[in-house]
Amino acid sequence: MLNLSISTLISRIITLIIAFTVHEFAHAWVAKQYGDDTAERAGRLTLNPLKHLDPIGTLMLIVGGFGWAKPVPVNTYALDKRSSSAEMFVSIAGPISNLLLAVLAAIPFRTGLVQYTISGSPYFPSISQFLFEFIIINLALLIFNLIPLAPLDGEKVLTSVAPPKVSNVLYTIRPYGPLILLGLIMLGRIGSLDVIGWIMGPPLQAMFRLLVGV
């Protein structure tokens, strides 16, 4: 956190409020379309950030590079009654919302309305600085959430489309998913085996270049 400039901190806080809120709203909205009003009854079918943000999870992402929002509650029985693919679409809705946010933020760069640069004031972000952080964070949330480990969205998506043998393995390790994920993250923080970085780095860089055109 001490290495973050005030302008970067401001950019990340605003971005995370928007990114987490839209991500969780997307889960709730798609669940509602498939007949599950669990999230709506819990007050989560809203763009009010206070309903979605987890204070500790948001702080961890700002200062530590990983974090979380409050998971949207869903009723898998209600979803399965409507469609066997419903849970997959509900799960992938969050990551797709982050992709759409990144695409929208890249438009000013692509159209020449904003010149791409990440330099600027250390105290208040320029438009370019903010858009840079906004795109990077949303792409990072997209890729991270598609890692096929519980409780991430990617685990539910893969379980829905994978062959039975693969799905059974995922079901078996699901209770240990959070510990495995935390262990992988900590290896990159305190050791030299940055598995998460290896997974996320190449697609993040490629997608950023594709969107921004640099």
As annotated, the active-site residues are 24
Q: Measured between alpha carbons, how far is 166 from 177 in angstroms, rounded to an integer?
A: 15
The answer to whether the CB of 39 falls within 8 A of the CB of 27 is yes
The answer to whether the CB of 111 falls within 8 A of the CB of 123 is no
The answer to whether the CB of 7 falls within 8 A of the CB of 120 is yes
Q: Measured between alpha carbons, how far is 101 from 20 in angstroms, rounded to an integer?
A: 11
CB proximity list for 125: less than 8 A, separation 6 or greater: 7, 8, 10, 11, 133
